[in-house]
Structure formats: structure tokens, C-alpha cells
Amino acid sequence: MNDTYLSIDLDYWKKLPFPADFFHSIFRSGFPIRVVNHHQQLIAHVDKLHCHDLINIDWHSDLADIVFVEGSGQTFNCGTWINFVKKPNRFTWYYPSPQSLSLMAQGGYCHISQNPFLAKNPKEVCGWPSVAKIQGLPVRWDDDVKGIGIAISHFWGGLVHWKAFRALWPKTQKVIALIASVVYWVMTDGMM
């Protein structure tokens, strides 16, 4: 049963060589792909595809230590968007180096006080029944994938490989990303 969403952030490679072969396989996969400026712009794609498992290849976990409750005032942003996935089941964060596990500036953890990856019951901390973190890239990413999202994350270092990525990016995907960016900009009153 395909219910996994593959989320990729270009900032994963901000201190690594650009993986052209990896992105060739992504664009040739045939799965629905969305390319966005900001990671939180993927939430509608994840929920539209009814994905309950999420693989996040990213410098940052994008998972906070707060469970979304209607009216709680929790901020929806690039560091909490995974908390807002409807009907979450299993979350796996693939990070590039031990430096990503730092809480210092440019560290990859997004929690404030309680680390979801160290909690005995992560569902109480972040809303996901199962969370895991793994250093490196998945050996097989296409087994149960239903959709793919790619965030440019220019603010967090994603522009390091922008030219190489853009050269591989199919023209049809560029048009879809442009439309998604405009719609997001309009919906947020220009607040990106």
C-alpha cells in the first residue's frame, strides 16, 4: 500500500556535493512531484495524497515538540509543518551529518524543550506514533512512495546547489512550482 511521502530539502546538501544521480532518479520516477520555495508549502500535497508515513531528507527535522490542537496558536512554519500532517503514522528523518543533531545555530532539531526523537511516547510529544532519525540517504526510497516534494529552502542554504538542481529540473515541474509559489504568496498576503 503506497502511503509514504518523500520530502526532500535542498539544504540537506548545503555542505555536501550535489547528488545529480539521485535527482535524476527522482525526476524519472513517475511519482507526482511538487517543487516549492518553503517546506511548509508541501502540506497540501501530502494531505491530498493521503500519506500517513513521511520520509524527510533534510538538514532540519521540521518536527517540533508540540502537538497541534485546534486553536492552540501553534505556529505553522518550515520548522513545524510536519506536526500539521493529517493522520500521521510513521516519520523518518534522514539527516546528512552529526552536525545536524546540534541544537546550536544551524542545528537540525526543531523542538523547544522535549526532543520527539528521544521521547518514550512520541505521540504525546509531537503527534506522531513513530519517529526515527537516520544519518545518510535511504538505500531504497521508492518502495511505498505515493508522492514527492522538494523544497528549495533558499534561506537555509538550499541555494548552494540551485544552478545544478535547476538544470536537472524538468520544465513542466518549473511551471507547477511557479504557480504553487504564486498561490501560496496570495494566500499568505505576501508573507513568505
Q: Give pLDDT tens digits for 119-132.
A: 888 888 888 899 99
**Inside any domain, residue 64:** yes
Alpha helices by DSSP H, listed for 39-190, are 43-48, 122-126, 162-168, 171-187
**Inside any domain, residue 192:** no
pLDDT, tens only, 139-180: 877 778 999 999 988 766 666 777 788 787 765 455 445 545
C-alpha closest to that of 46 among 147, 164, 138, 172: 147
Say yes or no to pLDDT of 68 above 70: no
Total domain count for the chain? 1
**Contact criterion met (CB below 8 Å) for 37 and 151:** yes
Q: What is the DSSP letter of 135?
A: E
**Inside any domain, residue 50:** yes
Backbone angles phi, psi at 105, to 5 degrees: -50, 135
Q: Average pLDDT, stretch 27-40?
A: 88
Backbone angles phi, psi at 151, to 5 degrees: -105, 130
Say yes or no to pLDDT of 92 above 90: yes
pTM of the predicted structure, to 2 decimals: 0.82
**Inside any domain, residue 57:** yes
Domain residues for the domain of 19 are 4-187
Say yes or no to pLDDT of 5 above 70: yes
**Contact criterion met (CB below 8 Å) for 34 and 177:** yes
The SS3 assignment for 15 reads: coil
Say yes or no to pLDDT of 186 above 50: no
